[in-house]
Chain A
Amino acid sequence: MRALFVVMTILLTWTWSDGLLAGDIKGKVKAKGVKHSGDAVIFIDKIPGKTFQPPKEHVTMDQKNLVFIPHILPVVVGSTVDYLNSDDVLHNVFTPDKCAEKFNLGTWPKGQVRSFTFTDPGCASVMLCKVHPEMEAFILVMETPYYAVSEKDGSYTVKNVPAGKHTLRIWHEKLKGESVTVEVPEKGEVIVNFEVKK
């Protein structure tokens, strides 16, 4: 009897954890007026009563061949981003956005990093290089870890979303789309397609 109680307790604890009663949100983004449907961020902005810790490991944004990699980087609030210079030329990362404190990281040699911690939830800040004006990337600060960036064909999967009703939002650097309410099943997946346009 005692053993059965222990097993039941473990099962119940597991059941209520995010790991089990969670489903995936899948779908496609159709982007109108741009070359492809990639680089849209699909995310659950809030789960009432829950907060999420940022990862201990720093997230990396590379500067290679005069390009920021990745172009779109969602991070959980409190995350630190390491800006790596992989080029044999000088870069100077900065952002004009207040929500990222208009930081200017200056210049540093190849192979080295400078870092910034993003603390303002909801911030979508543009990353620019003062030396190479064509370089551009975006960092989005999320309140939850439930997000995905769409592939060029528009496909995306937000994994392990806690079961229940959520507001699913979409962000694109040039286009706009409507938020939708989604009922995530306890197991399996739900399909949500988006259209984003100017």
Chain B
Amino acid sequence: MKTIAATVVLIVLVTAIAAEQVHAIPSFSRKYKTSCSTCHYAAPMLNAFGKAFKNNGYRYPGGTDPEMTKEEPVSIGSEGYKRVWPDAIWPADIPGTTPIGIWAIGRIEYAAIADVKWSLEIPHELEFLYGGTIGENFSFFGELEIENEGNETEIGFPFALQYDFSPGFHLRVGMANADPTPTHLRLTRNHYNMASFRSRNGWRFRDDHNGVEVWGAANGAGDRGGFTYRLGMVNGQGLTDINPQKDFFGKATYKIGGLGEIGGTEGAESQASDFYLDNSVTIGAFFYKGTASRANVLDEDFTVLGGDVDFWYNRFILNGALMLMNSTIEGTADRSSMVYYAQGNYVIYPWLIGLVRYEWEDRDTDADLVKPVNALIPGVTVMARANVKLVFEFKKFLDEANKKRDTFTLQFNFGI
């Protein structure tokens, strides 16, 4: 009993990990009785419809969500109560079954310079994912994430509650989308270098950003492509901010061609389509302005500016992003950093995807002594089933200082 209690205490004490954005939610598959690949290119990476579903506040496009929902919701207030308001609570409904799914991740990893070169980290992570709608206007998603990090168990529990005025305007509180890397999420085991890049005081895009966000999306001309935007104010570092300043972020994208950002079928005639196809090009621009703090050093004020491009043509995807960071700490020289990556994916078969990514990271563009880090990541993703994924991935560092840090990973995931 003491052992159990000690374990619980340990788990509770080790908290606030860098929870990743969660978007592969198996409960949607049950709600609509549809395959994961309706929304996912290769879970958790979203396809065009998955993004449109998300942009509609986790609903089917065009107001068709009630008829598409095959799992009968439970009413928590009848329709007639709308007429009684404000003398009654506004009616709504909740999912008919508990909207929780599981995403499990295990890894077999080879690290060239580690003492233990081969690690069998199974499990690496277990995520309890939930998402859904509450009536016509509220939606929610979140996770309880339990992760192994150097034999210590870390937990994270981000969530977001959202009021969906319309696809063009959502108000979200909780976990915000400050990370500017592609909204369709990554395919690889390795994080995007932009997401992992740290400011001098340790801030990074990958970490939780909790606060308030407004965002929205709309279709372009002829219901094709369209734009998205998001603006937010967040704690930059952790659940409780460690400095009095709030951070601000924003991103805007414009998509030319392809499925409309909020879906629909108008103008969507083609000779062939598939869940992984969406011939289009999307360009985006983003900013982040924040203050990063850590113990016993002065605060760091920093600004990130950047842009990205996402090009989908038949079975091929090419995307890349560039970010420039300027950092100021009183009494020290300002630091400018540049980070970028470019990645190509190719769908060999709908269950077999090849990819290669090139990364570049120059922490201090003005200092010749600080050499950039650059790496090549070739990999293969195998979808054994729509909810079972294997990733074979190699990370080959190309710069002199890191050239022995190569890693090879076999990662397997499943979602239920």
Q: Is the CB of A92 within 8 A of B60?
A: no
Q: Which residues of B contact A109 (CB under 8 A)?
A: 265-269
How far apart are the CA atoms of A182 and B335 in the complex, in Å?
90
Known A107-B273, A134-B35: A90·B268 in contact at CB below 8 Å:
yes
Q: Chain B interface secondary structure, helix, strand, loop or mixed?
A: loop
Q: Is the CB of A134 within 8 A of B33?
A: yes
Number of B residues, CB within 8 Å of A: 29
How far apart are the CA atoms of A110 and B267 in the complex, in Å?
10
The interface of chain A, by Cβ under 8 A from chain B, is 65-66, 85, 87-90, 92, 104, 106-110, 130-134
Q: How far is the CB of A71 from chain B (nearest CB, A)?
A: 14
Q: Is the CB of B273 within 8 A of A88?
A: no
How far apart are the CA atoms of A160 and B70 in the complex, in Å?
38
Q: Is the CB of A90 within 8 A of B265?
A: yes
Which chain A residue has the least Cβ–Cβ distance from B62? Answer: A88
How far apart are the CA atoms of A88 and B63 in the complex, in Å?
9
**A65 is contacted by which of B67, B264, B270 (Cβ under 8 Å)?**
B67
Q: How far is the CB of B355 from chain A (nearest CB, A)?
A: 22
Q: Is the CB of A65 within 8 A of B269?
A: no
Q: How far is the CB of B341 from chain A (nearest CB, A)?
A: 29
Which chain B residue has the least Cβ–Cβ distance from A114? Answer: B269
Q: How far is the CB of B224 from chain A (nearest CB, A)?
A: 12
Closest 7 CB pairs of A and B: A88-B62, A109-B265, A107-B273, A106-B271, A92-B273, A130-B274, A133-B35
**A107 is contacted by which of B35, B68, B270 (Cβ under 8 Å)?**
B270
Q: Is the CB of A89 within 8 A of B37?
A: no
Q: How far is the CB of A53 from chain B (nearest CB, A)?
A: 31
Known A66-B33, A133-B386, A134-B34: A89·B270 in contact at CB below 8 Å:
no
**A89 is contacted by which of B33, B70, B265, B272 (Cβ under 8 Å)?**
B265
Q: How far is the CB of B134 from chain A (nearest CB, A)?
A: 22
Q: Which residues of A contact B270 (CB under 8 A)?
A: 106-107
**A66 is contacted by which of B68, B273, B275 (Cβ under 8 Å)?**
B68
